[in-house]
Every structure is written in C-alpha cells, then in structure tokens.
Chain A
C-alpha cells in the first residue's frame, strides 16, 4: 500500500478484526482480574510522522507501555497502554490487593504487567489468526514506564521504518465498576495491511 487511503469498507473490515481480537483479550484480562471487562468500538487512526503524539493528549503524560513485536504472515506490533493510575489499579487487581494499595510501580509490578500483556496479546492474535487465516506469532513483550511521547515514537518508527505514516487500530478496554481503562493498539506494517485486506476480500 503506497498511500494509506482506506475506504469505509476497509476501515470496517479492520475494525471488525480488532473487535474480535480485543474481545478475546478482554476475556483473558477479565479472567486474570476477576472483573468484567468491556470493549469499545475500535477506532482506526492513520498517523503521519510529523504529528505522532498529537493523537494523544500531552506527550509528557506518564504511562505504562507494553510492546509486543509480532511476526509471521502478519507483522508489526501490538501496544497495550495504561495510564499510570489505571496501571496501579490493574496491579491491585492482579495481586488481589484492595484498590488503592499500590502506590508506586515497582520492578515486580512491571514484570507482572509485562506477563499480563503477553497473555492478552496471545489471546488477541489467536483470535485474529483464526478469523483471517493468516498465521501470526508474538515475540516476547517488553515494558516501559515513561512519557507517552517517548514510548510511541520508538514503536511507530520501528514498525513502519520505511513509510511516512502508520495505521493504528485502537480498542479501549474498560473495567466499569472501578473505571479502569487501557488501550490496545494493533499496528500492522503496511505490507501486512494489504495482506489482511486481500485475505478478507476488502481490497
């Protein structure tokens, strides 16, 4: 795909795929934290490199980013983002603590989040693979607790190093009773987008 001019139909197709993937990831998370997790309608964002971080508010916001490179018939990456306060709550839930007990993110908390992200990504990808029929595997996940801008610049550049823009398929995961939310981004490289659209006949 030279220029990312996606038609409505193609956007719908990508949204549908993300919906299926995120639905499975939400189920996995729900089992881990023993709470109900809902997902929002996926959104497609096409970012051009000069304004990567304008898709979020405040590039200096502290977030936990969990990055998983994916490879196989679809390549790219999956990024799971949790704003700081939401990360603290998820950590509470995962350790079985009362909400508000975790005040800072320690090394072992980050390791727990990293492993959680691996599980979510595996669920996301297995659903995706089954639905599209393109085999995709996850590499091991890496985690960083830092400024949003710094986290996304690294990932988007590395995923789409030769292109001028990247397609982000974003789904919000929401835990309603305590209002904890996270964002899951599926970032296929440009070649993979073409493959996906061809495979599901949405060219």
Chain B
C-alpha cells in the first residue's frame, strides 16, 4: 500500500488516517505535536510556532499556538469518533538554533515544548515519547497506521 504524504506547514494542523503520512519539513524552534489513537489509527499533527494564544491579540490561526492547537486537535479527532481517553501524544522540535552570548531573545523553542507538555498534561493525554531541544533542525514524518515518528536531522535518523 502506498502512503499519501501530506505536508503540514507552519501554523497548520491536519488529521490523518492509516493510509496517510503527515510531514513537517525542517522544524527549528517550532514544535510538531502529534496526537493519535493507536487502535483506531486516526491521528493529527499540529505545527505550532508559539506557546500561548493569550499573549497575542485575537484573530490568529488556532494551530499557531500550543494551547489552541491541542484543543483543536482533540475536537477534530472527537468529531471523527475518537475517544479522548484513548489518545496518546508525541512531541518533536523546539530547538534553540542560535545561541547568542548576550541575546535578549528568550528561548522560544523551549517555551514551545514546555507549553505543549503542560497542556497535554492538563488534558490528560500521555506523552509516550519526545525528541526536543538541542540546536539543530528536524524533519518529521508521522505514520498514523503504526504511530511511528521518523526524525531526520544533522545528527542522523531516528525513530520515536
């Protein structure tokens, strides 16, 4: 069976079934949050860029922020007949690409990861694996049919 690849750009969110692969090319400080039901083989991936929608004024896309993206994924998966209690999550990305000595810019990658974790925790969705932080970019492929996440980076390939 050939799998269909769907690209998930910055601030986008997509759901997928067992015949599809969700792809996020070259994540830097952005985070890919994967939420899926391992039995029904239905999942979603959000490519978020910022931790908190409350810091920014309204009118933004929900998938831009960790908090609204996770809630939106739960809603979209529920409407496909998935029970929230059956969901598990994986998070990838959140690198700190540039370390400046006297940077006045805080580590947005780390803040993204922390926010994603605390919201998943609040929603009672277990994080079964993660590959986050560091100072390198990652390309992510999520296979909904078996929950596998393939990560490609300058450090090589790995699976979580």
Q: Which residues of A contact B (CB under 8 A)?
A: 49-53, 59-60, 65, 67, 69, 71, 139-155, 157-158, 161-162, 164
A53-B26, A59-B26, A162-B55 are known; give 5 further A-B pairs, CB within 8 A: A49-B11, A50-B11, A144-B98, A154-B109, A155-B97
Interface size class of B (residues with CB under 8 A): 35 or more
Hey, which chain B residues are within 8 Å of A53, CB to CB? Answer: 9-10, 25-26
Task: Give complex CA distance A148, B95 in Å.
Answer: 14
Contact A142–B98 (Cβ < 8 Å): yes
Taking a contact as CB atoms under 8 Å apart, the answer to whether A49 and B49 are in contact is yes
Whether the Cβ atoms of A157 and B49 lie closer than 8 Å is yes
Say yes or no for B139: interface residue by CB 8 A criterion: yes
Q: Is the CB–CB distance between B95 and A150 below 8 Å?
A: yes
Given contacts A71-B104, A149-B27, contact A50 B12 (CB under 8 A): yes
Show the binding face of B for A, using Cβ within 8 Å: 9-12, 25-30, 49-50, 55-57, 60-61, 64, 95-105, 108-109, 135-139, 154
Provide the main secondary structure of the chain B interface.
Answer: loop
Asked whether A51 lies within 8 Å of B10 as measured between CB atoms, the reply is: yes
Is A146 in contact with B136, judged by CB distance below 8 angstroms?
yes
Residues of B within 8 A of A155 (CB): 97-98
Q: Are B103 and A150 in contact (CB under 8 A)?
A: no
Beta-carbon contact of A150 and B27 below 8 Å: yes
* A150, B100: Cβ atoms closer than 8 Å: no
| With known contacts A50-B12, A154-B108, A158-B105, A144–B97 Cβ distance under 8 A | yes
Q: How far is the CA of A150 from the CA of B153 in the complex (A)?
A: 10
CA distance A67 to B98 in the complex (A): 7
In the complex, chain B residues whose CB is within 8 Å of the CB of A51: 9-10
Distance between Cα atoms of A154 and B96 in the complex (Å) = 8
Q: Are A140 and B97 neighbours in the complex by a CB distance under 8 Å?
A: no
In chain B, what residue has the closest Cβ to A52?
A: B10
| Given A67-B98, A69-B103, A139-B102, A150 and B10 contact (CB-CB distance below 8 Å) | no
Chain B residues lying within 8 Å of A50, measured Cβ to Cβ, are 9-12, 61
A148 to B25, CA, bound (A): 10
Give B152 Cβ to nearest chain A Cβ, in Å.
8
Known: A49-B49, A60-B139, A154-B95. A149 touches B25 (CB 8 A): yes
Q: Name, among A59, A71, A139, A153, the residue most crowded by chain B CB atoms within 10 Å (CB to CB).
A: A153
Are A140 and B10 in contact, CB atoms less than 8 angstroms apart?
A: no
Nearest CB in chain B to that of A61: its residue: B26
The CA-CA distance from A41 to B108 in the complex, in Å, is 33
Contact B103 A139 (CB under 8 A): yes
